[in-house]
Amino acid sequence: MSRGGRQAYAALSVLAAGALVLTGCSKGGSDASNNNKQDEQNAKRQQSSIKFGDAADSAGPAAAVKGAKPGGTMEVLQRDSFAHLDPGQIYVSDEMALSQLIHRGLTGYKATGTDGKSHEVVGDLATDSGTTTDGGKTWKYTLKDGVKFDDGTPITSKDVRQTFERLFAPFINQGPTYIQQWLADSSGADYRKLLPGGPYKGKHLPSSVLATPDDKTIVFHFKTPHPDLPYALAMSGYSVVSAKGDTKEKYDKNPVTTGPYKIQSFKSGKSMVLVKNPNWDPKTDPIRNQYVDQWKFTFNQQFEQSTKALLADSGADAAGVSLSNQVDAGNLSSVLKDPKMKSRTISGYQPYVGQMNINMSKPELKDIKVRQAIAYALPVTPFIRAYGGTDAMEVAGGLISPTVSGYDAKFDPFGKKEKPAGDPAKAKQLLKEAGKLNMKLTFGYINTPEGQQYSTAMAAGLKKAGFDVQRQEIPAESYYDQVSKLNNNYDIFHTAWGADWPSASTVIPPLYDGRQIADGASNYSQVNDPHVNSEIDRINKITDPVKSAAEWEKLDKYLLTKVVNEVPTAYYKQVQIAGSKVGGFVYDDVIGGVDPRRLYIK
């Protein structure tokens, strides 16, 4: 999944102008909490596999939150509006956080404790997390009694069939593709050949692929084992869509919901109001609570704005929170040092890895020496500083997060951990050898204060190495839609990706499979390397998670040393605050931030 403007399983204020050119520092930002050991423990905990629950685990209602009471309006301050509300189009962190309130799937992640650190995959709309008798080739699900859409229509297997068949339609191009590929037994975008156009012309997947023998039963048939299906089904992108209410492209702005809340109003870029869904039955839901009467979202709240409002803790903001906004860089240190803020602060290690994409479709970037020059020249200090320094992130070496099995802390191909300000001398020599001094680079950046800050300083670092860098801003709300276009204008641009569950099989294939180059796909660098493609197929067949983790890490190293289509920047952490009247405020490892399903007004 992509972060910020794209989780899971899953920015901040402008500093003084002088800080923009401080690219020579070894690190940036505050050192208010030197929690390296705690970070390591958090990361290792998130590498652990999550068990699949049975029918008893899947029964509702969700565990009550201690001290919770119903009622009130929760104010939600968000930087980015929601580009997509259609489950099939949801693959960014902000929208996935919202989906916890409005959408449900066959399975979901249930917190098994009160601190957001322990989970199991359970049946959500289904009676359990799934049953298989042949090692993962065939999976059977049964819908619970009494599950309905917000319009009162019962959810049946016809809706589940529609949910998956519509994913083959060309207008669905932003969400996950795991299950489509598994059903088609293919890699990349070839899965669409299984049901061209989706179900809208009367054609359907054969029962040998997807069977719905009655209104309650769904059976997935795969040609090869996919023991991770319960994890995949728990993704927001596979939440159930109403067959009766499916309005194709229009569904993206006005979906029929299944969660405890429904959409009363949505003004893109301005506001959203959620109210209680009267057709949601808590007896069927082991995951979510429905304490708050109304959720009132206000968009275009930059991290500095939302932080100041929540710190002020007055009026409506005393019952305020943000699902995605972090504490801004200017306030991060003081918030972490203030003992009075401890009860209103949550933090955790996220599964995201930041990376500067080098657009391999551009002819001038075909030369590996040019790509190596970018990799060595690029300073990562400005990026980390913009987001609050070492309390908010740490310098990345590889493409696999510390929260994912296979992570190698020693891997650092471009020396960023030792020289986070970059190595312009080495980069300039590479550029000379390529005969490309003063080569033009178009740097696409997100138009937020953080994006302005880090892109300015990163561009300065690239210029030192001999590049002619032209910056182009991209709107935050549609950032990932823009950079995932095949014919975009950008030579380099930053994205962040987090594992969809604790396996690099949800990192390497979606990002670097050359057969998955398409508009809206997540192969942002448009890399198409035959060795990478064949290794993806080989490693995906390894059923031993320890062995597969080691092989994914080898492929990570190949990508960064032999291909050089990315420059890792940072591993993400998250610090969030809430108003003093917000109860149930917990950081959830799976969500990678606040768990909105527990929140209530004190």
Asked if pLDDT for residue 13 goes beyond 90, the answer is no
How many whole angstroms separate alpha carbon 12 and alpha carbon 326? Answer: 7
Q: What is the mean pLDDT of residues 474-482?
A: 92
Q: Cα 14 to chain center, whole Å?
A: 24
Q: Of 98, 111, 7, 2, nearest to 50 (Cα)?
A: 111
The backbone torsions φ and ψ at residue 402, rounded to the nearest 5 degrees and listed phi first, read: -60, -15
List Cβ neighbours of 34 (8 Å cut-off, separation of 6 or more): none
Report how far apart, in Å, the C-alpha atoms of 315 and of each of 25, 577, 583 are. 41, 16, 16
pTM exceeding the 0.85 threshold for the entire prediction? no
Pairing of strands 566-577, 393-395: antiparallel
Longest CA span, the chain: 69
Per-residue pLDDT, 82: 95
Contact 454, 392 (CB under 8 A): no
Residue scoring higher pLDDT (46 or 499):
499
Asked if pLDDT for residue 10 goes beyond 80, the answer is no
How many whole angstroms separate alpha carbon 577 and alpha carbon 311? Answer: 8
Q: Of 361, 391, 403, 396, nearest to 375 (Cα)?
A: 396
To the nearest 10°, report the CA torsion of 373, 376, 381, 382: 0
pLDDT, tens only, 55-95: 999 999 999 999 999 999 999 999 999 999 999 999 988 99
Per-residue pLDDT, 39: 57
pLDDT level of residue 553 (50, 70, 90 thresholds): very high
Average pLDDT across the chain, whole number: 91
The tokens describing 444, both together, are 């696409």
Q: What is the mean pLDDT of residues 177-193?
A: 93
Burial class (CB in 10 A: 0-12, 13-18, 19+), 544: exposed
pLDDT level of residue 35 (50, 70, 90 thresholds): low
Per-residue pLDDT, 573: 87
Which helix or strand (DSSP H or E) is residue 394 part of? strand 393-395
The backbone torsions φ and ψ at residue 532, rounded to the nearest 5 degrees and listed phi first, read: -60, -45
Contact 191, 184 (CB under 8 A): yes
Per-residue pLDDT, 351: 82
Instruction: Give counts: helices (H), strands (E), the chain.
Output: 15, 20
The answer to which of 30-34, 310-314, 410-414, 430-434 has the lowest mean pLDDT is 30-34
Whose structure tokens read 């039955």? 281
pLDDT, tens only, 254-279: 999 999 999 999 999 999 999 999 99
pLDDT, tens only, 97-114: 999 999 999 999 999 999
pLDDT level of residue 565 (50, 70, 90 thresholds): very high
Contact 378, 16 (CB under 8 A): no
Contact 424, 523 (CB under 8 A): no
Per-residue pLDDT, 40: 56
Asked if pLDDT for residue 12 goes beyond 80, the answer is no
